[in-house]
Amino acid sequence: MVQRRSLLKVAAAGGIATLVPWSRLTGSTAAQATEVAEPAHSAPFAHPMPLPAVLRPARRTRTSDLYEIRMRQTRAELVKGLSTPVRTYGGTFPGPTVNAWRGREVVIRQINELDVPTAVHLHGAHVLSEHDGLPMDTIAPGGERTYHYPNEQHAASLWYHDHAHHLEAENVYRGLAGLYLIRDPREELLPLPSGTHDIPLVIRDARVEADGSLVYTRPTDCPHMLVNGKERPYTEVAARKYRLRIYNTCVNRYVRLRFADNTPFTVIGTDGGLLESPVQAEDLLMLGGERVEVVVDFSRHRPGTSVVLENTAALATERPEVLRFDVTRTAVDLSYVPRRLTWRQPLPRPTVERSFELRTFPEMTINGRLYDPNRTDVTARLGTTELWTVTNAEAPVPAGRPDFHLWHSFHTHLTYFRVVERNGKPADSRDAGLKDTVTLAPGETVKIKMTWGPYAGQYLYHCHQLGHSSGGQMGRIDVVD
Ligand SMILES: [Cu+2]
């Protein structure tokens, strides 16, 4: 126990963190019962919810917006009254939001002033391989790299985060994550809530100790749920409709979001942007990496009342509250959700089929293998549509037992996919839309189809439980022309 305590202390200091195997941070080992210290007290609704800062371009040209971000260590108040050391993009936790426009290039010069290597991946983007932030394409401490993002894709809620091999889980956990929103003039014409009524919610867990330190540990020991970098905040809204861009950026756990009074969600978008048509939902199951965009109508609530967004997948030892909305005023609301939101080209019939089996035990593998950057696992021809059967090979555990470590979230770089089938049945509204990350409970199987492109080169597919990908649950795909 003492040994584990010192190991995690060192991990917290940023030293040998990557040498602490995931299996020791989680799962069913004897380490399960041990703790590093007492976490800070959890007091909900102590902070107003901030909005992530928006990054201003350093320069604009006729075709491009050029940005500069310095990755650096700083401190942030995650839990009320405590100062926590964090790794940041540009000094904010989460990082600053980049607003991009479809068809207009974004160039980001990333300067690494941290003491760990980093690699910046733009999750959900169609980019050339050299700008994908591959695990071995790292920026050494003191180094820099300039990433080019063409934004030749539909409007969507993306995010950029660390992907340095073996380090990504802890780097993201410590703060290396920020939003990247691609907008499209055509989408702006829709009557959806917009401007100050279009709000990102970056949801993630954390473990902050009473002394303010942030400990990277298993998700069953992470009692602090953060929204936009603050623990369980509150926010004031008018009695009208809002568009909420919800991100689960937890490195190792799923959340199941629901309003305490069952206020419904109108789901309008997923990882790949708007759905063709909206879908009603009462709860949202999201694993790390997934995005869901919803419209919520707070005009159901009288001014002066509040409604709490809860995580019904919180552990028995945790608080369920995530965020409180205080309805403070009435408002004129001309926004609405149209019955048709967009139109997407149907994917062609797949001509290649492949299967992937994800395991947690004895090691975090895909088809029995750990990631090897020098081994090509899949060669796909550019422009070919493929059908992938992806299975979570772990058996379900009895209800009520924490099982985050047995879930997988399958993520593809470069391209979006559609979920065709789940557990042998046609995919339902839960799997609607274009996705780049799909949730697999223990024992589940999904069939997904995608067209490989628009670029040839070396890319990745992996589990987006980042503790798993950093442990090797990742494969290399070479898209060839
Ligand atoms: Cu996994």
DSSP string, 164-177: -TTTHHHHHHTT-E
Give, as residue ranges, everything with CB less than 5 Å from ion ligand 1: 408, 463, 465, 468, 473
Residue 282 and residue 262 in contact, taking contact as beta carbons nearer than 8 Å = yes
* CA 295/CA 306 separation, integer angstroms: 17
Q: What is the mean pLDDT for each group of 10 consecutive residues in the chain (481 residues)?
A: 34 36 42 60 95 98 98 98 98 98 98 98 98 97 98 98 97 98 94 98 97 96 97 98 98 97 97 98 97 98 97 95 98 97 95 98 97 98 98 90 93 98 97 97 97 98 97 98 95
pLDDT for the residue numbered 36:
56
Alpha helices in 16-174 (DSSP H): 22-25, 168-173
CA of 439 to the centre of ligand 1 (A): 10
Phi, psi of 188 (to 5 degrees): -65, -20
> Residue 212: its pLDDT value, please?
97
Nearest to 267, CA basis, from 124, 413, 420, 435: 435
Q: 408-412 and 385-392: which strand pairing?
A: unpaired
Q: How many Å lie between the centroid of ligand 1 and the Cα of residue 340?
A: 35
Helix then strand then coil, in percent of the chain rounded to 5, is: 10, 45, 45
Residue 129 Cα to ligand 1 midpoint, Å, equals: 23
**Euclidean distance between CA atoms 117 and 135, whole angstroms:** 10
Dihedral in degrees, nearest 10, Cα atoms 286, 176, 406, 230: -60
What is the whole-number distance in angstroms between the Cα of residue 41 and the centre of ligand 1? 30
Buried b or exposed e, range 233-266, using 16+ CB within 10 angstroms: bbbebbbbbbbbbbbbbbbbbbbebbbeeebbbb
Residue 31 three-state SS: helix
* Per-position b or e across 412-423, b if 16+ CB within 10 A of its CB: bbbbbbbbbbbe
- Between strands 273-281 and 284-286, the pairing is unpaired
- For residue 467, report the distance from its CA to the centre of ligand 1, in Å: 8
CA of 63 relative to ligand 1 center, distance in Å: 39
Structure tokens of 317? 């030892």
Distance 241 CA to ligand 1 centre (A): 36
User: Cα of 391 to ligand 1 centre, how many Å?
Assistant: 11
Output the CA 368–ligand 1 centroid distance in Å: 13
How far away, in angstroms, is 468 Cα from ligand 1 center?
Answer: 5
For residue 184, count CB atoms less than 10 angstroms from its CB and return exposed for 0-12, middle for 13-18, buried for 19 or more: buried
CA distance 371 to 475: 5
Show Cβ contacts of residue 100 under 8 Å, excluding neighbours closer than 6 positions: 65, 106, 149, 151, 180, 181, 182, 183
The pLDDT of residue 15 is 33
Give 201 Cα–ligand 1 centroid separation in angstroms: 24
The Å distance, Cα 359 to ligand 1 centre, comes to 7
CA 12 to chain CA mean position, Å: 22
Cα–Cα distance measured from residue 279 to residue 271, given in angstroms and rounded to the nearest whole number: 15
Distance of CA 283 to the CA centre of its chain: 18
- Write phi, then psi, for 22 (nearest 5 degrees): -55, -40
Rounded to whole angstroms, how far apart are CA atoms 463 and 406?
A: 11
**Domains of the chain, first to last:** 2-33 (no CATH), 59-186 (2.60.40.420), 195-330 (2.60.40.420), 352-480 (2.60.40.420)
How far apart are the two ends of the chain, measured CA to CA in Å?
Answer: 54
Q: What is the largest CA-CA distance in the chain?
A: 61
CB 233 within 8 A of CB 49: yes
